[in-house]
Structure 1
């Protein structure tokens, strides 16, 4: 069971987060517009595919770095005290803790990014200033609970699968996986996770894009999912699935590839 030093995980995580968010931003914009109340075309269609990029450039590296330093730290502390059979449960717990910490940075970035992507504001800076003036700092954290509820099931699938695929591949070839192999493992794990958690992603998007005084802005995840299911059916709950799976799969390749490559240079 591999562990990574704290400094290496922070650097590699930051590089990975920045790389994946910049490369896949247009796909994420399409997904956000498909999931918005206004619909794809009213939210901007194919115009301004990089709207909201500034918020991502500022926040993606710190968020990813926080995740991986938490994830690897828990692995380092706990691995000496567990068996190989218990490792998947450790990966689940470590990933969940990492997501909770990282969302402290990730959610404000998502709020600004998605509102700009949905054509509600002309720039990330305008969105940031208006959100703080109209809703206070709490407005930047709208959807925090919904995001965590979405990210935890995603992490519960993705990271144990990633570790499992890497371990099996390493065992098959009798040495650790290369950065490209680690990236392929991440792509498959990410695609599986994305497909399963799309309804939670739809709920998160609806909360973040809702008008301040609307019921959706304060909605809990389960009632909101029921409402979407009743009004829009299964297609509404899984709106944006294809770009989400495509984006997360490609993103998993870029993200874990950048992480493994940076790690290989440092170690």
Structure 2
């Protein structure tokens, strides 16, 4: 997932800066939402195949990642590695957009980096809100060629009919805990890296060549 995170940041940061220059200050939230969503789309190209393989292995269908990739590609084709792609975007685009928008708006409001505790709260809250989308995404990804569900709408209807509405919140506790801790570490590393690079960036006077006397 490091590659996916690197791709996300590589798209998000420059796009955010470009959008902030394009839109007035009172629309900064829109810039952050848009950059977060587009960053999520870029990262999904890596995240989705990784998630498909992980989910299949967690349900005991495969014992190795390489074996899972070979089997899925052979039996289901390339599209098998992107099973549930629509539901993945349905979960991750709101997640990335909301999480980064809240994070950036708090930073703007306090004119300082968000601390560890507030990062946990932001990430945990976003994780809780998007849990139903995560449940739908997982069900569609692990069904394989069985085709138990016929798309996102059918998946939601089937879950509610057979298991009740509360089934859409299955795993909310572990998800909130995991995302809260993992997200706070991610933001901490992100801000630390940005400060490190800013400190190493030469000042305008340092970057100018000395005049020949």
Q: TM-score range by the shorter chain?
A: 0.7 to 0.9
Task: Write the mapping of 1:163-182 to structure 2, written as runs, cut at 5 A.
Answer: 163-170=104-111, 176-177=112-113, 181-182=114-115
The whole-number CA distance in structure 2 between the counterparts of 1:80 and 1:160 is 16
In the alignment, structure 2 segments of 5+ residues that lack a partner are 199-213
Equivalent residue, structure 1, for 2:48: 107
Moved more, 183-192 or 237-246: 183-192
The whole-number CA distance in structure 2 between the counterparts of 1:71 and 1:77 is 10
The whole-number CA distance in structure 2 between the counterparts of 1:156 and 1:77 is 16
Give the alignment's TM-score, normalised by structure 2.
Answer: 0.87
Equivalent residue, structure 2, for 1:199: 132
Structure 1 position 132, deviation (Å) = 1.2
The whole-number CA distance in structure 1 between the counterparts of 2:55 and 2:195 is 34
Give the alignment's TM-score, normalised by structure 1.
Answer: 0.70
Equivalent residue, structure 2, for 1:88: 29
The whole-number CA distance in structure 2 between the counterparts of 1:103 and 1:145 is 10
Q: Secondary structure at the match of 1:215?
A: coil
One of 231, 239, 244 as aligned partner of 2:175: 244
Q: Secondary structure at the match of 1:212?
A: helix
Matched, 1:210 2:143: yes
Task: Write the mapping of 1:124-163 to structure 2, written as runs, cut at 5 A.
Answer: 124-163=65-104
Between the two structures, name the one with larger relative contact order (CA 8 Å, sep ≥ 6): 1
Matched, 1:228 2:162: no
Moved over 6 A (4+): none
Q: CA RMSD in A?
A: 1.5
Matched, 1:253 2:184: yes
Structure 1 position 155, deviation (Å) = 2.2
